[in-house]
Amino acid sequence: MKFSTVLLIFCALLLSSCKTENQSQTEKEFTIDYEKFTLDNGLEVILHEDHSDPIVAVATMMHVGSNREKPGKTGFAHFFEHMSFNDSENVPVGANRKMIPEWGGSRNGGTWSDGTVYYEVVPKDAFEKILWIDSDRFGYMINTVTEAALEREKQVVKNEKRERVDNSPYGYTNEIIRKNLYPEGHPYSWTVIGALPDLQAATIDDVKEFYNKYYGAKNASLVIAGDINIAETKTLVEKWFGEIPSGPDVETLQPMPVKLSESKSLYFEDNFAKLPELRIVIPTIEEYHKDGYALQVLGQLLSGSKTAPLYQVVVEEKKLAPEIGTYQNGSEIAGEFVFRVRANAGTDLDDLKVAIDEGLVRFETDGVSEKDLKRIKAELETGLYQGISTVLNKAFQLVQDNEFNGDPSYITKAAKLTNAVTAADVMRVYEQYIKGKNYVMTSVVPKGQLELAVSDAKEATVWIEEVKQNVANEEVGQGAEAQYEKTPSVHDRSEPAFGELPLFKSPEVWSASLDNGMQVYGIENNEVPLVQFDITIPGGLLLDPNGKEGVSSLLSDLMMEGTATKTPAELEEAIGLLGATIGMYSSNEELHIYGSCLAKNFEGSIALVKEILLEPRWDTKEFDRLKLALETELKGLEANPNAIASLVANRLIYGDQHKFSIPGSGTLASIKEITVADLKGYYEKLSPKNATLHIAGAISKDKTTAIVNALNDFNGDAVPLPKQVLPTESKAGNLYFVDVPGSKQSVIRIGKLSLSATDENANNLDFANEILGGGSSGRLFQTLRIEKGYTYGAYSGFRNSLEVSPFLVRTSVRANATLKSLEIIKDMLSNYSKDFTEADVELTKNKLLKADTRAFESLGAKLGMVRNISKYNRSSDYAEKYQEELVAMNLENYKNIIDTYLQEKEMIYVVVGDKATQFEEVKKLGMPVIELDINGNKK
């Protein structure tokens, strides 16, 4: 996780303490009030009131990341973040991960090179409870660390690395770059997750030393944002956080930018990659440096549009890759400018490097377009408001800029500095930091395709873990609680009571109809001057021709590539100059046209939507490029164990006669013969008669309908959707195994068809799943991760759709724990009905009722609400009726639902992992084991 000011250039939050009387009217429109004070122990606290929803966000930023570690003890900052979520002196064992979701809240943390953040969002009645639990984690956890907890959390972090690095295509690239970009001993020369041997060697004394050195109040900032009273909150903060020790002074790190004496070219054969990837990384300057804003704009100008020189050369002309990215990545003490391209299959990366150089020469020749600068700044204006759409986003930016720059409202200056960037500034930073400078270049190629690497590249070395079967020190458990004397306090640090229960009230939903038959549903919300909208047209994958699945997906892409009167670049520019986002995508059951913009630009955005919808360009050149890009994407997914597991599970569950047995984007086989004529045939089926426009934001019903009446020119008769055939032959009771050689983890999917979202029992099944797999408080997560340390996460549930949807258990476990994990899940599913208690009924009710207080905070969530209303023919107050249904559920109802829809004996098992070590192991589960290839065909 990385919180970076420069990343907010296009989604910035403009803040001000509102102390200057002679501010311009423009500035006042962008401001947000906050109050900052410092406790006697040195903790800096920032408070912001926002009464729009009955929720509160809390973010605690510790000024310690992996850049404070030492060689031989890497990964400690991230590991300590994990340890902090275990136990503390005044909070029950396991409560930090379990209780917050049960209060209707969410919680998490993140560590990056420079810092660690802990954050929660809860209904306002749990506000003091979150201060209790958050402050106890901060100041009162170190005495509770036990050997058992230490060893258990080591396994969790190992599983995180296996999932995100070892079992992921291009997962080792970051390690290769850091080792070669930064000199040995530089704080950025190792990865945030660190080296597993360092982690395995960690002791309790190491953990305590790290805590005592860096987890003092003076080394942190705390932000509380939301439905609070400032005066009351000050008192509560003093009570709960005021006694936390100040800690020692932590030395301020000074910038340590690096210079390379020569360029380095390295290659790596990736076991999971199916496509060659090239990265070029040039050392630049640290975050908050004045040149960072021009460098970020440079990144956008080089590759961020269809007129960008690198895009034109690499993608349009040479056709070497579907896209290219360039960006400035600033951190606390150094920075990097990155070129990143995942090329088409079989591309020689020498050719790609030549194309990048050619694009840079073109940039030097053509210079900076003032129109592009204007577009970027228009996008910035919209982004300013998007950054304040939730209380958590506000909390993040306030705490980031306070801790790392001493000014919670720094983004005010950052936005001005970005807006002030000129063409001359961009060319200056290009000449100063990029042109002709040494770099680290990585060629990551599929196993056995070394000929694709850049010529004369040297082999990169990385440490690769060998996962062995039956390793004694990887079997962990809860262990006994620590014995210690509680830290004395002048306050009662026992759990506070809930506050007054916040009442959930559905936002008011309005509806209208256009003359052409299109329905309109909306929610007016004036917190920020933004709107989000979506036009949903039934069809999607369901209307794709048999054997040519992927047509609707390609159509949605092609329709964004220009109109009859606008080239692709001209359309992109028109959208950008409005500061808008407009796009299309296809799902299993619909085609969507979506957008977001400032409310003042809604009419202009709808005019472009109309043009896109009614005047397609049918550009064959763009079609060929998009089809090649899709082939590249699908080829890349062949290396992704999670994607393989989902594809195989859907094919097995739905059967070969059902559309949903195939991904919405199609397969390499199904897209092979697709032509522009197929897309035109699908386009003719689009109709407003069964379409719906959804909108949420700062615009009234009358103004909306007046603007969207322009869409009445969209006409056509509705086409019935083909009825799908559900499988009659059951595959239940079988375990299907897909071999991905060398996998450090096994991806597990277990499930069966359940029901449609329109079924009267759909909500009840959702309720019944909560105890089993509804987040970190569910039994799957608590057992497989918290108790056993087998996984990084384990969940279950079903997705909403008009068609019958599968219920699935999802997890990735370390390879040598595959059988044990399957046994645990099998037992949990088999006994779920029997083990479900009255206490579970009450817990489910309280958890879900309170979660509703934050369920519809953002504009995106409000848009989702009206989409659910139209798609599933629900009433405008369906969320309140959902609550009534939940309250009415009793133990017998839960058991009936579980017995009807969650019978383990009716489920199929899919395991994607290393056959050499796990195939014989999974046979011990006692189920028939059938081996499939990555496409779900029998081997």
* CA 928 vs CA 166, 296, 734, 920, 924: distances in Å: 29, 55, 5, 12, 10
Q: Which residues, including other chains, have CB under 8 Å from residue 357's CB and lie 6 or more apart?
A: none
Q: What type of residue sits at position 337? A: F
Q: Is the pLDDT at 602 greater than 60, yes or no?
A: yes
The whole-number pLDDT of residue 538 equals 96
* CA 829 to each of CA 300, 756, 826: distance values in angstroms, whole numbers, following the listed order: 50, 21, 5
Separation CA 845–CA 851 (nearest Å):
10
Contact between residue 934 and residue 638 where contact means Cβ atoms under 8 Å apart: yes
pLDDT-derived band at 856 (thresholds 50, 70, 90) equals confident
Report how far residue 259's alpha carbon sits from residue 255's, in angstroms, rounded to the nearest whole number: 13
- For 194: left if phi > 0, alpha if psi spans -120 to 50, otherwise beta; the answer is left
pLDDT of residue 2: 43
Residue with tokens 């990659």: 273
Least confident of 467-471, 626-630, 644-648: 467-471
Whether the per-residue pLDDT at 481 is higher than 80: the answer is no
Nearest alpha carbon to residue 479 among 776, 150, 838: 150
- CA-nearest of 806, 787, 884, 811 to 845 is 884
For 665-712, write each residue's pLDDT tens digit: 999 999 999 999 999 999 999 999 999 999 999 999 999 999 999 999
Report the sign of the C-alpha dihedral through residues 664, 670, 676, 680, in that order: negative
Closest CA to 633 of 656, 676, 664: 664
pLDDT over threshold 50, residue 11: no
In this prediction, what percent of the chain has a pLDDT beyond 70?
95
pLDDT of residue 478: 67
CB atoms within 10 A of CB 422: 13
Nearest to 379 by CA among 834, 849, 12, 835: 12
Band of pLDDT at residue 24, cut at 50, 70 and 90: very low
pLDDT at 148: 87
Predicted TM-score (pTM) of the model is 0.87
Structure tokens, 411: 């983004």
pLDDT of amino acid 17: 30
Instruction: Kindly state the average pLDDT of the residues 488-517.
Output: 91
Between CA 703 and CA 606 the distance in angstroms is 12
The answer, yes or no, to whether residue 258 has pLDDT greater than 70, is yes
CA atoms in the 13 A half-sphere facing the CB of 329: 17
Give the pLDDT score at 729.
Answer: 86
Q: How confident is the model at residue 471 (pLDDT cuts 50, 70, 90)?
A: low
Which pairs with CB-CB distance under 8 Å and at least 24 residues apart come from 491-496? 491/239, 491/240, 491/243, 493/89, 493/90, 493/132, 493/136, 493/140, 494/90, 495/90, 495/91, 495/129, 495/132, 496/128, 496/129, 496/132
Quick one: DSSP state of residue 485? P
- C-alpha Rg value of the chain to the nearest Å: 28
- For residue 70, the 8-state DSSP code is B
* Choice among 5-19, 357-371, 692-706, 757-771 with the minimum mean pLDDT: 5-19
Instruction: Give backbone dihedrals phi and psi of 780, rounded to 5 degrees, phi first.
Output: -60, -50
pLDDT in tens, 649-659: 999 999 999 99
What pLDDT does residue 472 have? 56
pLDDT of residue 794 exceeding 50, the answer is yes
Mean pLDDT of the residues in the chain: 91
Please determine, for residue 272, whether its predicted confidence score (pLDDT) is greater than 80. yes
| Surface-to-core class of residue 929, CB atoms within 10 Å of its CB (0-12 exposed, 13-18 middle, 19+ buried) | middle
Closest CA to 330 of 224, 443, 417: 417
Which range (39-48, 211-220, 383-392, 829-838) has the least confidence? 383-392
530-538 and 590-598 beta bridge pairing: antiparallel
Of 383 and 227, the one with more pLDDT: 227
d(CA 110, CA 62) in angstroms, rounded, equals 10
Distance CA 726, CA 283 (A): 56
Position 28 scores a pLDDT of 44
Question: From residue 186, how far is each of 71, 180, 450 by CA, in Å?
Answer: 9, 11, 31
Residue 31 has pLDDT above 70, yes or no: no
| pLDDT score at 418 | 85
pLDDT digits (tens, 9 = 90+) for 62-111: 999 999 999 999 999 999 998 888 889 999 877 777 888 889 888 899 99
The pLDDT value given to residue 387: 74
Predicted confidence (pLDDT) at residue 7 exceeds the cutoff of 60: no
Q: What is the pLDDT of residue 30?
A: 54
The answer to whether residue 29 scores a pLDDT higher than 70 is no
CA-nearest of 309, 301, 310 to 340 is 310
Amino acid type, 213: K
The pLDDT score that the predictor gives to residue 477 is 66
Q: Per residue in 866-901, is it b (16+ CB within 10 Å) or e — as a string? A: bbbbbbeebebbbbeebbebbeebeeebbbebbeeb
- Residues 479-483: what's their mean pLDDT? 76
Kindly state the DSSP code that residue 592 receives in the 8-state scheme.
E
Of 856 and 562, which is predicted with more confidence?
562
| Among 10-14, 769-773, 856-860, the least confident range | 10-14
Sign of the CA dihedral running 772, 778, 782, 784: positive
